[in-house]
Structure 1
């Protein structure tokens, strides 16, 4: 009996495999046979099975006519270049539309022939083309969708192989796409068992053959009753609070939990099984998704030459990825670190190759150029601008580490200030219309050299916009999760080595965004900015760093202060407890985008002696004169109170040096707007 069963099973599998091996050439032969038979079947249906010799002789002519029309229409519209193994509603619509077109053409041809040559097909009814088209559509559709049905059936034969039983949280479009990908690819080892969704309208419904068994409050019971091995959160737009709640429920039951990335990470991408990843801190802090006007951003960038400085950094590389999707004609990747620039170039080149392999036109992919340069050397910038003539600049290059810049003020000035000054001067010389500088919330009422240097850079951009009338703007935002050298990677390294996790103060707070979210808003700011403005991203609510540390420890599978300790080390030089978003005197108003605010009077809050102050800063930086740098920053930036070095040049002597004299020989005094 077992032998008979195995033989029968093998015969079925062999037949199914043969059907799956059908090619379009085989399908074309089948279609010719069908199209040769359907006119006869149509006539039999129309005449209730009655045929005489007159009908039969005329039917041959109609059959040849219909066959020629249908094959011509189908071939002209690429019907025989389709891959039917994954046929869907799109293919069904495609078949129907082509058949409607074929019926219209063959009806018109039949009527013309009927009227002009009545003796040829005089005995055939005028409804014959329509009935023939209907039967043809049924037959060719049935064959092609049988390939899809057999594909699904053959996938289900692998159910005997061990697969993880998966509970999908979220029965929206992302969850459904994920389940369909699992069903198409059983070899990946996932078997979707059920959905959980808070929408009461979906309760007890079946989606792609999978039941919706309850809302999030039934997760714990469902995990036990359905013997679930793995939970996947498929809700890219849901808030971090909901993710935290689900993760806590699953953790209490010991079930492994994964997630799809947030909507910012999968923008313009199809949800697939390989999109699944472990839950990250970005998911737990996720906010309401940013509704970027993608069409407007794409229109702004499409066909232009775009130059990105700092292209190998966290923000710069994400700028490259998102700008690439907007189809510029050329992308110029400028950076000082050769390895990081090489990495993003390789990533974009691989993406271009994938698009070409998928049949996308190479015309739509930009030309990528890398240019290793330090913005402090103007001659390198001159060469780049002369060669590439950029239309748009995104300036992301900067030193950003507060404690390091506090110890190395000359580096902060030469990179953040002189680099920006050089870039602006060359951009104006080559008539670049759009310039977007990425700034920081640390430039607001700065307490450290890094923030002060970025504030001076902001003022240089605003002054250039005011004097030239061009669309030059700056964009401010806070910390980005996962950027190089930021708190999250630092905490992860400390956890990996067994701790402790070091936090400077129990009350210290910061504003956070994900890198893709921040870059989407930077691109939006480039579209909205009219010149001479500071655009500020709405950072939401600040997050306590100690809470961030606790969540990361839990996500790593440890208990706080049991497996991994948290140690408070005290505030570092120049560090604030709370970052600020507003500068006294700046007038904020909303923009067309609810996540962006604009400082409409930003270009008017600039010191009159900015150029002289920056010139003196350059001299002080060249001499590594730290106290002079601090003094000059204090004069340029209202409210900045630096801590001078006791064993360096005294301020009393500094004031009398030539470094602090203006062109008239007078001492440089505190600037007023």
Structure 2
């Protein structure tokens, strides 16, 4: 019984014989099958000879001649080990061994045949018979192996298909075909491609990669009729305009189809395609065409220069570091007061950019004595100031901390940049600084005013530039990661108000703006970005729930918690009395906000900083309202100060 341990124990699942895991037959069984095949080849060759009305030589009985032929053939099969290969894994090498074994046996028999003829003037075997036998035996042996291989492949593919997700690929262009070819050639991918969805309504009778093409109209019509042939659709995001992507995604979500995002062609070239095909995320739907400016000018500003990035362990600061690292700077100094994120950033950056000279500094930007030695030592060419407290409710409860970091910290960095003749100081601000309704926004507006005031100060050579944008997708503490965690837990998803709206941009897009603004600016500007249409947070939450495969309110509840202290329904990028100036790029504008002279803002920031050190919250907010006249508290304990 041990001889048969390699045989798969056949199992019946739903009355289907599972042959996929069949190991291999004993080698002697393969040899016996091959002998039976060559015997069958002999008889077929014999019948062909009889059909041609040709008679065999009768020197020896035909039975003995056949035994001699088979014995010779089997001998060379043994010599070439043609029976040792696993049949379902047969390759050209296995077939070539069979060809050589049969050829050698025929050559040997021919040699014996002509030797006997020279000795006795008689031939043993007909030459045409040997030709037929050689061709037919090779053919039968080849076909046997190819058939077994084909059957196993079909069974294996059917079993694999039953456990794979049936999908269509959206599109029938060259890119779609290239991605389909990669998926079909990778047995580890959990997808079974059923066909392609054409972007057009015209019916097509052709096939691609032996998969059918479904017209746009037919696909939509089938869905409307309840005919859902697949579980999901693979979308090539780069091939679609935003409006087209929105149309298809809304359609797929309406009919509960899973939406997968295909990797870029560049990622297709590596071997990690399994990790590059992912379900489409809300970030993919909110993303717009990114800003593209003069990258050569950006590189010139950073090439072989020493750069300081404050808040470099955060989401915005970390992305700035990554983009600067690509510009071949002399050194990047990354400063942050959060120990663990800074350590994580160090590990990541040194792995990603081993050729870049990094310096990681644990420091608080409100500590002037800690900052000044850095400016003395490193001779910074650019300072990117991304360090800030930004969480509205927390800052509303702790206004003293907001002033110490957002105002005093910015003041320290800006004054040191001017003192040590840093070429450019680029501050990252927020749309919450416009007509602020909370302490966080007001503190950032004060920082903007102070930075602007330094531009025309006597003896200053530093160009002070401010960038102002809305919410950043995926940044620390932003709404999307928060919603994602709530959905993963099964809900509920919490929204402060059903009518709340926000502007969104990607982290990479925001940081590209920061770098380009630092290049474009001549000093004193506040750059604002055309962020497109605002997004209703309720619709955002519903879409995220649907993209996760759930139904809003049915599977995942949505709960309204009420506006938080200092929060408003909508954000603005420009003040009411603000004018804008165009720049060399249509998506970037200069905001001409009212400014303050240095002496005035310097004195008033000293006052609010002094109150902050004593933690006198009411006095802090009073001074902030005095500096930022448009600061009107909303849903906050400080509303009484506006009366």
Change (3 A) 1:282 1:346: same
Q: Work out the CA distance in 2 between the residues paired with 1:173 and 1:465.
A: 53
After the TM superposition, which residues 247-646 of structure 1 pair with which residues of structure 2 at under 5 Å, given as runs? 247-251=249-253, 254-260=256-262, 272-352=273-353, 365-467=355-457, 468-599=460-591, 601-602=592-593, 604=595, 609-642=600-633
What is the Cα deviation at residue 410 of structure 1?
0.1
**Whole-Å Cα distance in 2 between the matches of residues 647 and 479 of structure 1?**
25
Aligned mates of 1:345, 1:604 — CA distance in 2: 38
Preserved CA contact (<8 Å) 1:169 1:235: no
Q: Is the 8 A contact 1:627 1:648 kept in 2?
A: no
Offset of residue 232 of structure 1: 1.7
Partners of 2:252 and 2:333 in 1: CA distance = 46
2:564 partner SS: coil
Q: Distance in 2 between matches of 1:458 and 1:17?
A: 79
- Greater Cα offset, 166-175 or 405-414: 166-175
Q: Normalising by structure 1, report the TM-score.
A: 0.66
Seen in structure 2, the aligned counterparts of structure 1 residues 580 and 275 have a Cα distance that, compared at 3 Å, is same
- The range that moved more, 624-633 or 159-168, is 159-168
The alignment partner of 2:353 has SS state of: helix
- Return the alpha-carbon distance in structure 2 between the equivalents of residues 489 and 236 of structure 1: 24
Q: How far, CA to CA, are the matches of 1:17 and 1:632 in structure 2?
A: 91
RMSD: 4.1
1:401 CA displacement? 0.8
1:440 CA displacement: 0.4
Q: Distance in 2 between matches of 1:388 and 1:219?
A: 62
* Counterpart for residue 91 of structure 2: 12
Cα pair 1:317 1:344 within 8 Å, conserved: yes
On the 8 A contact 1:331/1:369 being kept in 2, the answer is yes
| 1:584 Cα offset (Å) | 3.9
Unmatched segments (≥5 aa) in structure 1: 19-153, 354-364, 653-673
Q: Displacement of 1:634 after TM fit?
A: 1.3
Cα deviation per residue 1:472-507 (whole Å; 9 max; x = unaligned)? 211000111222212222222333333332222221
Q: Could you tell me how far apart the structure 2 residues matched to 1:648 and 1:594 are?
A: 39
Write out per-residue CA displacement over residues 1-56 of structure 1, whole angstroms, 9 at most, x where no aligned residue: 985597776552547999xxxxxxxxxxxxxxxxxxxxxxxxxxxxxxxxxxxxxx
Give how far 1:257 is off: 2.1
Does the 8 A contact of 1:392 with 1:433 survive in 2?
A: yes
How many pairs were matched up? Answer: 502
* Corresponding residue of 2:234: 232
CA distance 1:620–1:645, change in 2 (3 Å): farther
What secondary structure is seen at the aligned counterpart in 1 of 2:454? helix
* Paired residues of 1:220 and 1:250 also in contact (CA < 8 A): no
Greater RCO (CA < 8 Å, at least 6 residues apart): 2
Distance 2:405 2:388 in 1: 6
Residue 177 of structure 1 contacts residue 271 of structure 1 at CA under 8 Å; is this kept in 2? Answer: no
Q: Is the 8 A contact 1:166 1:230 kept in 2?
A: yes
Using the TM superposition, give the Cα deviation of residue 461 of structure 1 relative to its aligned residue in structure 2, in angstroms.
Answer: 1.5
Give distance in 1, aligned partners of 2:572 and 2:590.
16
User: 2:95 & 2:420 partners in 1: Cα distance?
Assistant: 66
* Structure 1 residue 293: Cα displacement: 4.1
Aligned equivalent of 1:70: none
- Name whichever of 283-292 and 321-330 sits farther off: 283-292
Deviation at residue 574 of structure 1 after TM alignment: 1.5
Q: 1:300 to 1:622 in 2, by over 3 A?
A: same
Matched position secondary structure for 1:327: coil
Tell me the TM-score normalized by structure 2: 0.68
Comparing 397-406 with 340-349, greater Cα deviation is found at: 340-349
What's 2:22 paired with? none
| Deviations 1:317-363 (CA, angstroms, capped at 9, x unpaired) | 2222222222223222111112212222222222236xxxxxxxxxx
Q: Report if the CA contact (8 A) 1:330-1:367 is conserved.
A: yes
CA contact (8 A) 1:292 1:521 kept: no
What is the CA–CA distance in structure 2 between the aligned matches of 1:315 and 1:437, rounded to whole Å?
12
Structure 2 gaps, min length 5: 1-28, 38-84, 98-149
Deviation at 1:549, TM superposition (A): 1.7
Distance 1:252 1:540, change over 3 A: closer
Q: Which secondary structure does the structure 1 equivalent of 2:581 belong to?
A: strand
- The SS at the match of 2:565 is coil
SS in 2 for 1:342: helix
SS class of match (1:473): strand
